[in-house]
Amino acid sequence: MPSPKAKSTGRSSGSPGGGGGNGRYEFMSLNRRTPPHMLQRQGSDPTAARLRASESPTRRRGSGSSTSSTGGGQQQLPEEDCMRLNPSIVGIALSSLLAMDLWLSKRMGVCACEDSSWGSMRPLMKLIEISGHGIPWLAGAAYCLYKSDSIAGQEVMLNLLMALILDLLLVGLLKALVRRRRPAHNRMDMFATFSVDGYSFPSGHATRAAMCGRFLLAHLVLAPPLRVLVLLWAVLVGCSRVLLGRHHVTDVAFGFAMGYAQYDLVEALWLSPALLQGMLGHVA
């Protein structure tokens, strides 16, 4: 008959965590990999032991560090591919100005087409548009120069004609350089357009209105009501560009400033009939 001691010894040796036949329980450490000879002594499955070892905190820490190092390497992108998280104040101001310009221009384009909110005013706006076109002004200045009998009148009309040609050259050059598209709600049904007229910046009508307005007020003797009408005409020409959807607000504002400055250039390059005759004599 076996003794109770032998039963307890056999039970301890057949336990999963037993250390052979010594009757003591042994616990495996999770922080280190169990050697293969210990797996054989404990009678465990080597595959399961390897799985347990792979799930140990040390292996998990190693895999986490390798992943973080790999992720850190992926985050080191070239400087040109990285998104700038701290744009400059100038860039933010320009972007805000552009957004406000687009929004305000679209809201003010109330005569862009017949079914707009002010579509019934479109024929009047187009008439004002023609009054500020370059072709009528060139033809009118050339006709007045031909019909003028006085030297003073010929001098004024000659410089006005030169100013109009200078305005066309400067505006066309600037439009070709900037190449800003016209507003999306614009209808290209303008009178006598050219290739550069497909661009929006700056407004040639606004530059011409500002320059001609200053020219007429400075060199023509006008009564006060007529002087007010000249100023009102120049403002209406600029406003018609936005109401018809031809230009953005900044195009017209820059056009007014450019036309105002162009008159100073015309005064600096003022041509007298004697100077013109001398130049023609040297050419001949």
What is the three-class DSSP state of 2?
A: coil
Residue 55: per-residue pLDDT: 52
Residue 162: per-residue pLDDT: 93
List, for residues 213-253, the tens digit of each pLDDT value.
999 999 988 889 999 999 999 999 999 999 999 999 999 99
List, for residues 133-186, the tens digit of each pLDDT value.
999 999 999 999 888 888 888 889 999 999 999 999 999 999 999 999 999 888
Residues 234, 210: contact at Cβ < 8 Å?
yes
247 is known as an active-site residue: yes
Q: What is the dihedral of CA 105, 106, 108, 110, to 10 degrees?
A: 140
Percent of residues, the chain, with pLDDT higher than 70: 66
CA distance 79 to 88: 17
Task: Please list, in sequence order, all residues whose beta carbon lies within 8 angstroms of the beta carbon of residue 160, skipping any fewer than 6 positions away.
Answer: 141, 212, 215
Mean pLDDT (the chain, rounded): 76
List, for residues 55-98, the tens digit of each pLDDT value.
545 444 444 444 444 444 455 545 544 455 556 888 888 888 88
* Nearest residue to 181 via CA among 204, 197, 192: 197
248 is known as an active-site residue: no
| DSSP element (H, E) containing 202 | none
Examine the pLDDT at 258 and tell me if it is beyond 90. yes
Out of 37, 133, 185, 205, the active site residue is: 205
What is the three-class DSSP state of 18?
A: strand
Residues 129, 247: contact at Cβ < 8 Å?
no
Q: What crossing angle do the helices spanning 89-108 and 249-268 adopt, rounded to 10°?
A: 100
Cis, bond preceding 202 (omega within 30 deg of 0) = yes
Residue 281: per-residue pLDDT: 57
Task: Please list, in sequence order, all residues whose beta carbon lies within 8 angstroms of the beta carbon of residue 157, skipping any fewer than 6 positions away.
Answer: 141, 144, 145, 148
Examine the pLDDT at 271 and tell me if it is beyond 70. yes
Residue 72: per-residue pLDDT: 47
Examine the pLDDT at 259 and tell me if it is beyond 90. yes
State the pTM of this model: 0.65
Residue ranges of domains in the chain, CATH in brackets: 18-56 (no CATH), 104-283 (1.20.144)
- Burial (0-12, 13-18, 19+ Cβ within 10 Å), 157: buried
Residue 149: per-residue pLDDT: 86
Other CB atoms within a 10 A radius of the CB of residue 50 amount to: 14
CA distance 109 to 251: 14
Other CB atoms within a 10 A radius of the CB of residue 165 amount to: 13
Q: What is the CA radius of gyration of the chain?
A: 44
Write the DSSP string, 212-279: HHHHHHHHS---HHHHHHHHHHHHHHHHHHHHTTSS-HHHHHHHHHHHHHHHHHHHHT---HHHHHHH
> Which whole number is the average pLDDT over 26-32?
49
Confidence grade of residue 9 (pLDDT, cut at 50, 70, 90) = very low
Out of 133, 185, 219, 247, the active site residue is: 247
